[in-house]
Amino acid sequence: MERNKPKEEPMEILAEDPPPVVERPKPRRTKGHYRLTDFIIQRTLGTGSFGRVHLVRSKHNLLFYAIKVLNKERVVKMKQIEHTNNEMQVLEQVQHPFIINLWGTFQDAANLYMVMDFVPGGELFTLLRRSNRFPDPVAKFYAAEVALALNHLHSLDIIYRDLKPENILLSADGHIKVADFGFAKVCATTTWTLCGTPDYLAPEIVNQQRYNKSVDWYALGVLIFEMLSGLPPYHQAEPNHMILYERITRGPTYIRWPTQFDQKATDIIRKLMESDPSKRYGNMQHGAGDVFAHPWFREVDWAKLAGREITAPYLPRISGDGDASAFEKYPDDHAADMYGLPGPDLYGEAFPGFEYATTETV
């Protein structure tokens, strides 16, 4: 069933403040060395401002992957150099069952390439749009897996900053994979950049104040509300960011609570969407422990959930490996024909973590 909420586009980004000086955790995964000729490009899975994501198949192990291709000139012109480098550096550090894996990166004269998991079940957004809203136990399952992913990121001093159903993918077994780390960064203390998706912004971001990792817990509250009702708490039929931001700053007292909401669900949403970050669940003395111990999550076996031992409420209809039918179809526009071409490289030095790879066959 269609709902009247279009896919949210991220906000424009202001210049990022300098990252804090912290020792980055060492990558847990050996970084692979890849080149275009290692893969057969199958189809486009998605498009964006800087490029597109392709389904590809490895010529070596015959497994399917997703390759994110970013046009360097567009990344530079839209002042996304730091965010692009942050995405790569963050994903190199992270290995978690509910977070997408980055297997390697490379670049050529015109483009950056990120080799990632192919997650065949598509976006949680699509499932939610089809369902209109989720029953309480279904929303709880996805929220609990997201909470585990956020807690892992925060344990590495990583702030995510773009939680929404569009960025949660479903694996073949129905478990989640948090994807799209374009706004993520290492943040040991606070930061101030205005970025994210409008409906999911915490009040301190809207007010352009410094903020910490608790904005991710705020966004979890918004996500739970959207999963249970079908729309974010401050949604308007006609988007008006000024009105939206005014409602966000007024806090949860302005929310119209659907009658079907369980009392415990309402309570955890209120505690996650608390306007005062010092009183927000996930950001107090017990950290994420307050979230995990909330009565709404009482029946969740966190150890079994983390081990993917609990059956997911929805199993994607997948005919076999490489089935991308859960994703929208996009015209390929012969984009892949332009990859790997020789030419002037004006921006390569801005992306030192992306190694160069020739298009010659191994």
The candidate with the shortest Cα–Cα distance to 104, out of 52, 34, 39, is 34
Helix, strand, or coil here: 317? Answer: coil
Residues 322, 120: Cα–Cα separation, whole Å: 7
For residue 1, give Cα distances in angstroms to 9, 46, 50, 315, 324.
21, 22, 31, 18, 21
Q: Percent of the chain at pLDDT above 90?
A: 83
| Structural domains of the chain, with CATH | 36-120+319-352 (3.30.200.20), 124-306 (1.10.510.10)
The candidate with the shortest Cα–Cα distance to 232, out of 221, 247, 217, 222, is 222
Q: Tell me: the pLDDT tens digits for 307-361?
A: 999 999 999 999 999 999 999 999 888 889 999 999 999 999 999 999 997 544 3
Residues 269, 266: Cα–Cα separation, whole Å: 5
Task: Report the chain's C-alpha Rg in angstroms.
Answer: 20
Q: Give me the pLDDT at residue 279, please.
A: 98
Helix, strand, or coil here: 135? Answer: coil
Residue 244: what are its φ and ψ, rounded to 5°?
-60, -45
Q: Give me the pLDDT at residue 131, please.
A: 97
In the numeric block, which tokens belong to residue 8? 């949210």
Residues 230, 232: Cα–Cα separation, whole Å: 7
Q: Tell me: the pLDDT tens digits for 254-266?
A: 899 999 999 999 9
For residue 19, give Cα distances in angstroms to 91, 101, 193.
16, 23, 11
DSSP-derived letter for residue 319 is -
Helix, strand, or coil here: 35? Answer: coil
* 235-254: average pLDDT: 91
Helix, strand, or coil here: 228? Answer: helix
* 147-166: average pLDDT: 97
Q: Give me the pLDDT at residue 137, please.
A: 97
Residues 353, 106: Cα–Cα separation, whole Å: 8
Read off the pLDDT band of 248 (50, 70, 90).
very high
The candidate with the shortest Cα–Cα distance to 170, out of 10, 7, 323, is 323
Question: Which one has a higher pLDDT value, 238 or 200?
Answer: 200
CB proximity list for 280: less than 8 A, separation 6 or greater: 214, 217, 218, 271, 272, 273, 274
Residues 47, 91: Cα–Cα separation, whole Å: 20
* 282-304: average pLDDT: 97
99 near 153, Cβ under 8 Å?
yes
The C-alpha angle 56, 59, 65, rounded to 5 degrees, equals 30
Q: Tell me: the pLDDT tens digits for 4-45?
A: 444 444 554 343 443 333 334 444 556 678 999 999 999 999
pTM: 0.90
Q: What is the mean pLDDT of the chain?
A: 90
Per the annotation, binding residues are 77
CB proximity list for 264: less than 8 A, separation 6 or greater: 294, 295, 296
Q: Tell me: the pLDDT tens digits for 97-134?
A: 999 999 999 999 999 999 999 999 999 999 999 999 99
Catalytic residue from among 162, 199, 216, 290? 162
198 near 241, Cβ under 8 Å?
yes
Residue whose pair of structure tokens reads 């291709």 in the numeric block? 69
Q: Tell me: the pLDDT tens digits for 174-233?
A: 999 999 999 999 999 999 999 999 999 999 999 999 999 999 999 999 999 999 999 999
Does residue 162 carry a catalytic annotation? yes
Say how far residue 331 (Cα) sits from the centre of its chain. 24
Q: If 0-12 CB within 10 Å is exposed, 13-18 middle and 19+ buried, where does residue 241 land?
A: middle
Read off the pLDDT band of 69 (50, 70, 90).
very high
Residue whose pair of structure tokens reads 């205005």 in the numeric block? 194
**In which element (H, E) is residue 117 found?**
strand 111-117
- Strand 176-178 to 168-170 pairing: antiparallel
Q: Give me the pLDDT at residue 110, please.
A: 96
